[in-house]
Amino acid sequence: MKKDSKQLTGKKVAVHKEAMHRLQEDGQPESDSITDEASTVSLLHELQVHQIELEMQQNDLILARDSSEAAAIRYEALYDFAPVAFISLNRSGDITQTNLTAASMLGIPRAKINGLRLAAFLTEDSLSQFNLHLSNAFKGLNQSACEVKLYVDNKLITVQVMMSINDDGLECLTVLTDITARKQTEVKLKLAASVFSHAHEGILITDIRGNILEVNDTFSQITGYSRKEAIGQNPRILKSGRQSDGYYKHMWKTLKEHGYWSSEIWNRRKNGDIYPERQSISAVSDALGQVMHYVSMFSDITHLKAHQEQLEHSAHHDILTGLPNRILLANKLTLAIKQSQRHGKILALAYIDLDGFKKINDSYGHNTGDQFLIDISAKFEQSLRAGDFLARIGGDEFIAVLSDLDNINECEPVLQRILTAASQNIICNDNILKVSASIGVTLYPKNGSDPDLLLRQADQAMYIAKDAGKGCYRFFDIGPSEADRTRRESLEHIRQGFEKKEFVLYYQPKVNMKTNEVIGAEALIRWKHPQQGILPPAAFLPIIEGHLISINIGEWVIDTALKQMSIWQTQGLTIPISVNVGASQLQSGNFVRHLAGALAAYPEIHPELLELEILETSALEDVIQVSKLMNACVKMGVKFALDDFGTGYSSLTYLRRLPADILKIDQTFIRDMLTDPSDLAIVKAVIGLADVFERGVIAEGVETKAHAEKLLSLNCTIAQGYGISRPMPADDFPMWLDSWRINPIWTA
- Burial (CB < 10 A; 0-12, 13-18, 19+), residue 634, is middle
pLDDT of residue 64: 57
Residue 408, pLDDT > 50, answer yes
> Are both 541 and 593 inside the same structural domain?
yes
Residue 207, pLDDT > 60, answer yes
Cα→Cα distances 495→140, 415, 582, Å = 106, 42, 17
- Burial (CB < 10 A; 0-12, 13-18, 19+), residue 665, is buried
Residue 8, pLDDT > 90, answer no
> Are both 649 and 732 inside the same structural domain?
yes
CA atoms within 13 A on the CB side of 168: 7
20-57 confidence digits (pLDDT tens): 455 445 444 444 444 555 555 566 666 666 666 666 66
Determine the average pLDDT of the residues in 136-165: 88
Determine the average pLDDT of the residues in 202-214: 92
Domain count, the chain: 5
Tell me the C-alpha distance between 425 and 433, whole Å. 6
User: 314 lies in a domain?
Assistant: no
Residue 348, pLDDT > 70, answer yes
Determine the average pLDDT of the residues in 119-133: 89
| Choice between 125 and 743, residue whose per-residue pLDDT is larger | 125
Which among 77, 94, 116 is the end of a domain? Answer: 77
| Choice between 568 and 626, residue whose per-residue pLDDT is larger | 568
Tell me the C-alpha distance between 222 and 275, whole Å. 9
pLDDT of residue 160: 92
- Burial (CB < 10 A; 0-12, 13-18, 19+), residue 382, is exposed
| 30-39, 141-150, 181-190: segment of lowest average pLDDT | 30-39
Determine the average pLDDT of the residues in 492-520: 93
Determine the average pLDDT of the residues in 304-330: 85
pLDDT of residue 743: 67
What ranges make up the beta strands (E) of 144-269? 146-152, 155-165, 172-178, 202-207, 212-215, 260-268
Which among 42, 77, 112 is the end of a domain? Answer: 77
User: 307 lies in a domain?
Assistant: no
Which among 445, 478, 511 is the end of a domain? Answer: 478
| CB-CB contact of 43 with 24 (8 Å) | no
Helix/strand/coil (H/E/C) assignment for every residue in 35-58: HHHHHHHHHHHHHHHHHHHHHHHH
pLDDT of residue 332: 92
Q: How confident is the model at residue 69 (pLDDT cuts 50, 70, 90)?
A: low
pLDDT of residue 200: 83
Q: How confident is the model at residue 153 (pLDDT cuts 50, 70, 90)?
A: confident
> Are both 369 and 285 inside the same structural domain?
no
Q: Share the mean pLDDT of the chain.
A: 85
User: 309 lies in a domain?
Assistant: no
pLDDT of residue 363: 87
User: 177 lies in a domain?
Assistant: yes
Q: CA angle, corner 181, sides to 178 and 185, nearest 5?
A: 140
> Are both 327 and 239 inside the same structural domain?
no
Phi/psi-derived region of residue 399, left when phi > 0, alpha when psi is between -120 and 50, beta in every other case: beta
352-387 confidence digits (pLDDT tens): 999 989 889 888 888 899 999 999 999 999 999 999
> Are both 580 and 681 inside the same structural domain?
yes
Determine the average pLDDT of the residues in 248-257: 91
pTM: 0.45
DSSP 381-400: HHHSPTT-EEEEEETTEEEE
Q: How much of the chain exceeds pLDDT 70, in percent?
A: 85
Range among 111-115, 530-534, 635-639 with highest mean pLDDT value? 635-639
pLDDT of residue 143: 81
> Are both 624 and 516 inside the same structural domain?
yes
> Are both 403 and 543 inside the same structural domain?
no
> Are both 51 and 94 inside the same structural domain?
no
User: 192 lies in a domain?
Assistant: no
Report the amino acid identity of residue 271: N
CATH number reported for the structural domain that contains residue 177 in this entry: 3.30.450.20
> Are both 174 and 232 inside the same structural domain?
no
User: 639 lies in a domain?
Assistant: yes
Determine the average pLDDT of the residues in 594-610: 95
Residue 133, pLDDT > 70, answer yes
User: 731 lies in a domain?
Assistant: yes
CATH number reported for the structural domain that contains residue 624 in this entry: 3.20.20.450
| 102-106, 331-335, 607-611, 689-693: segment of lowest average pLDDT | 689-693
> Are both 277 and 411 inside the same structural domain?
no
Report the amino acid identity of residue 398: F
- What sign results for the dihedral spanned by CA atoms 380, 382, 383, 384? positive
User: 105 lies in a domain?
Assistant: yes
> Are both 342 and 454 inside the same structural domain?
yes
Tell me the C-alpha distance between 669 and 647, whole Å. 9
pLDDT of residue 221: 92
Q: How much of the chain exceeds pLDDT 90, in percent?
A: 46
Q: Which domain holds residue 217?
A: 199-300
Q: 729 phi and psi, to 5 degrees? A: -60, 155
Residue 6, pLDDT > 50, answer no
> Are both 467 and 612 inside the same structural domain?
no
Residue among 711, 679, 707 nearest 314 (CA): 679
CATH number reported for the structural domain that contains residue 387 in this entry: 3.30.70.270
